[in-house]
A and B are shown apart, each in its own frame.
Chain A
Amino acid sequence: MADIVLDKVSKSFPDGTVAVQDVDLEIADGEFVILVGPSGCGKSTTLNMIAGLEDISSGELRIGGQRVNDKAPRDRDIAMVFQSYALYPNMTVRENMAFPLRLAKLDKETINQKVDEAAKVLELTSLLDRKPANLSGGQRQRVAMGRAIVRQPKAFLMDEPLSNLDAKLRVQMRTVVSRLQKQLGTTTVYVTHDQTEAMTLGDRVVIMRGGAVQQVGPPQELYDHPRNLFVAGFIGSPSMNFLHAAVQDGELHTALGQVPLGDRVRRELEAADAPRELILGIRPEHFEDAELVDDDTRRRGMEFEAPVDIVESMGSDKYVYFTVEGEKASAAELEELAADAGAADFAGAGGNLVTRLSAESPVAEGQTRRVWFNLEKIHLFDPTNGRNLTLHEGRAAGALAD
């Protein structure tokens, strides 16, 4: 077990493309860190550099305080789990799990004992004599995990280990991975493109975009206090609503009406180079059916009316889609997020607002409904660089903050 430190680690290829740029990251001993981002953001390259499968162009990588830049993967004492599982097809489950131990020249008895132990933990005992070809996806995944844990390495590196499983099994395996990591207390770096996995699994989440780290922090912090537009849009499902907002006379003109501004935000916007156009971000759960809001809460927000497009009842609450007038928010980050979601060419007509209302709300499709939203939970972003303007000393304070 050991800590992993990335000190300005970069990766550039001979043709000039930079895959990873100056990544600074300190992963404490026993910590579970998730690298997350859209495809091509450099998260897998970063993991491969930690594993030693990819050379580090510049910067320093330390595992357990020791510089390992030039060490071969086999001298780094790390174990890796691959998306494809990478099980050796010619070996049985037992042989697969014993492979790293055999290479480490342990004696037969110790090997058998360790393999049996790991098999027990992962409930693979009855499958030990099978070949990978005769296993289901979930079983293969467990064998891959087993091969990693038998060695008791300094760190686990996992490259989208659950992405090849079907949705139900993925949720189940998520808890298995989480429990296993807590039980063993081994430093783990986990790569995924799935923000749900990132939110649920990690002690800390690292969000990457275009080879650079956007924000590092515990999942809840990233959710509540996103540093920029990209983080705000990437974390959360359904994702944050973004609306175009024009600054005028100390107020914001948006599709939801005139949004008043607090002193602090106004001060910031009065600076000479402050943008006149902003992007307003608000999460679906910060809306509520106006009928269901008590007076005390009502004061903290404002209301608007809009036609209901679609109602999705989830049982515990309702996802209600409203059509709102007005300009669409546009920024490079938003386009990238849409592209990653596979919806770059499918934005729908006009502005679409996703809200999460109480299940008691009598809202129906086709109606025009009065909706309240919480001004304290609003984020304002600068469209030119994506910065969150409502963030003060790392905390988001909403539009009204003084």
Chain B
Amino acid sequence: MSINATPTGADVAADETSGAAGRRATVPAQRGGRRKPPLSENKKAERRLGLLLCAPAALVMIAVTAYPIIYSVWLSLQRFDLRFPDQREFIGLENYVTVLTNEFWWTAFGVTMLITVVTVAVELVLGMGLAIIMHRTLIGRGLVRTSALIPYGIVTVVAAFSWRYAWTPGTGYLANLFSDGAPLTERASSLAIIMLAEIWKTTPFMALLLMAGLALVPEDLLKAASTDGATAWQKFTKVMLPVMKPAILVALLFRTLDAFRVFDNIFVLTAGGNETSSVSMLAYNNLIRGLNLGIGSTMSVLIFITVAIIAFVFVKLFGTAAPGSDDGERR
């Protein structure tokens, strides 16, 4: 697919990381500013070395994320359609008004939100079950873990094609089994199939993240709960879940950001037909197919903003520890 070569593709893939990096970079600077007493020579040298060591990574980040983001913001403020290059002009926020008052955008936004919420919720429950199974298995542990991770190892597009063939009437085994129509031609069943494919594909990833959290629950804590009189369910809800909370939130954050950018499955399964487009699909259609750089960039920026808001909510309101930050530093 050519999508990765476009600014939109780069934006969408990079916005999550750049957001986190931006925060990480600004925090120490603020702290340093607040601390008034002058730094000793040693500290200054240390800080200089720190900056020097960060510089190469920072430069790469600027080249591959900051520049495309700024460039697409710049494009989004222009009327810029490659079919009518002569009409290119700066129009301020007009593109945003156009997009935000358009029903296609809001339909796509609703579809994306629905897919995000449903898939992440189902993945959390299934992933937790899978994680516990993988964590508790004593015999054939390697085999169990490997087989559970297979869906995650398959290229999404390949998996999506398998799902499409399986649901194609006449030739697909699932279509023959469960329906007598063509499920991929109706909106509700299409969405259900898209979500099914997403869940099948990424539950193992969720399980993997949660398993890391499970490993954080000390065995003694569960033993103590047993002798304190807890049932298996009470041990799970009152001891395991609270201890795992940071890991669960990180897993949810990752998956939510990921799910919001859903593209491949929709592209292969329905190509966005029957109002099953996600916002990423819509941006792709405008930007690459429609060659409307202005509108397409506007959509990309809006996706970026939404993803940033999601990350902000997770980090600030739920207290998710941003990956790499110290737990103790937060509040």
- Please judge, given known A-B contacts A82-B220, A86-B220, whether A103 and B228 are in contact too, CB under 8 Å: yes
Partner of A84, one of B220, B225, B229, B242: B220
A51 interface residue (CB < 8 Å to B): yes
The closest CB in chain B to the CB of A83 belongs to B220
Interface centre among B224, B226, B243 (most CB of A within 10 A): B224
Q: Give min CB distance, A73 to chain B, whole Å.
A: 4
Q: Flag whether A104 is at the interface (Cβ < 8 A).
A: yes
**B20: CB under 8 A from chain A?**
no
- Are B220 and A74 in contact, CB atoms less than 8 angstroms apart? no
Q: Are A74 and B230 in contact (CB under 8 A)?
A: yes
Determine the distance from Cα of A78 to Cα of B238 in the docked complex, in whole angstroms: 20
Name the contact of B227 in the complex, choosing from A79, A84, A91 (C-beta under 8 A).
A79
B234 touches A80 (CB 8 A): no
**Contacting residues of chain B (223-257) with chain A, CB-CB under 8 angstroms:** 223-231, 234, 238-239, 242-243, 245
Give the nearest-CB partner of B226 in chain A.
A73
B229 adjacent to A86 (CB under 8 Å): no
Q: Which residue of B lies closest to A99 (CB)?
A: B228
User: Is B313 an interface residue, CB under 8 A from the partner?
Assistant: no
CA distance A287 to B243 in the complex (A): 57
Name the residue on A nearest B222 (C-beta): A86
CB neighbours of A86 from chain B (8 A): 218, 220-221, 223-224
Chain B residues near A80 (CB-CB < 8 A): 223-224, 227
CB distance A72 to B221 under 8 Å? no
Assembled-state Cα–Cα distance A89/B244 (Å): 11
Asked if A223 CB lies within 8 Å of chain B CBs, one says no
- Who on chain A is nearest to B221 by CB? A86
Q: In the complex, A78 Cα to B229 Cα: how many Å?
A: 9
A220 to B227, CA, bound (A): 33
Give CA–CA (A205, B221) in the complex, Å.
28
Complex CA gap A19/B218 in Å reads 23
Expressed in whole angstroms, the Cα–Cα distance for A190 and B242 within the complex equals: 30
A residues less than 8 Å from B228 (CB atoms)? 74, 79, 99-100, 103, 147
Minimum CB–CB distance for A244 against chain B, Å = 45
A48, A73, A104, A147 — most chain B CB neighbours (10 Å): A73
* Beta-carbon nearest neighbor of B242 in chain A: A90
- Tell whether A52 is near chain B: CB-to-CB under 8 Å: yes
For A205-243 the 0/1 string (1 means CB < 8 A from B) is: 000000000000000000000000000000000000000
B227 and A88 contact, CB distance less than 8 A = no
Q: Contacts A53-B223, A53-B226 given; indicate if A84 touches B218 (C-beta within 8 A).
A: yes
Alpha-carbon gap, A91 to B224, bound state (A)? 14
Task: Report A-chain residues with C-beta under 8 Å of the C-beta of B243.
Answer: 88-90
Residues of A within 8 A of B234 (CB): 103
Query: What is the CA–CA distance of A11 and B218 in the complex, to the nearest angstrom?
Result: 24
The smallest C-beta distance from B19 to any residue of chain A, in angstroms, reads: 29
Given contacts A88-B221, A88-B242, A90-B242, contact A53 B230 (CB under 8 A): no
In-complex Cβ contact of A51 among B218, B225, B227, B242 (8 A): B227
Contacting B at CB under 8 A, from A86-121, are: 86, 88-91, 99-100, 103-104
The docked-state distance in angstroms from the alpha carbon of A72 to that of B230 is 10
CA distance A104 to B227 in the complex (A): 12
Residue among B220, B229, B231, B242 making CB contact with A104, cutoff 8 Å: B229
Whether B231 and A74, one on each chain, are in contact in the complex, defined by CB atoms closer than 8 angstroms, is yes
Least Cβ–Cβ distance between A151 and chain B, in angstroms: 8
* Distance from A118 Cβ to chain B, minimum over Cβ atoms (Å): 14
- A74 near B227 (CB under 8 angstroms)? yes
Q: Are A82 and B229 in touch, CB under 8 angstroms?
A: no
Tell me, in angstroms, the Cα distance from A53 to B230 when the chains sit together.
13
Q: Which residue of B lies closest to A75 (CB)?
A: B229
Interface string of B118-144 (1 = CB under 8 A from A): 000000000000000000000000000
Q: When the two chains form their complex, are residues B218 and A73 in contact, meaning their CB atoms are under 8 A apart?
A: no
A223 to B100 alpha-carbon distance, docked (Å): 87
User: Which listed residue, B227, B242, B245, touches A73 by the CB 8 Å rule?
Assistant: B227
Residue of B nearest to A82 (CB): B220
Residues in B neighbouring A157, C-beta threshold 8 A: 227
List A contacts of B245 (CB < 8 A): 90
- In the complex, what residues of A have CB within 8 A of residue B220's CB? 82-84, 86
Report 23 cross-chain contacts, Cβ distance below 8 Å, ordered by A residue. A51-B227, A73-B226, A73-B227, A74-B226, A74-B229, A74-B231, A76-B227, A78-B227, A79-B227, A80-B223, A80-B224, A82-B220, A83-B220, A86-B220, A88-B225, A88-B239, A90-B242, A90-B245, A99-B225, A99-B238, A103-B228, A147-B224, A157-B227
Besides A53-B227, A86-B220, A88-B239, 8 other CB < 8 A contacts? Answer: A74-B229, A74-B231, A80-B227, A83-B220, A86-B224, A88-B225, A88-B238, A90-B243
Question: Which 7 residue pairs are nearest across A and B when measured between Cβ atoms?
Answer: A86-B224, A90-B242, A100-B228, A86-B220, A74-B229, A73-B226, A103-B229
> Which residues of B does A touch, CB under 8 Å?
218, 220-221, 223-231, 234, 238-239, 242-243, 245
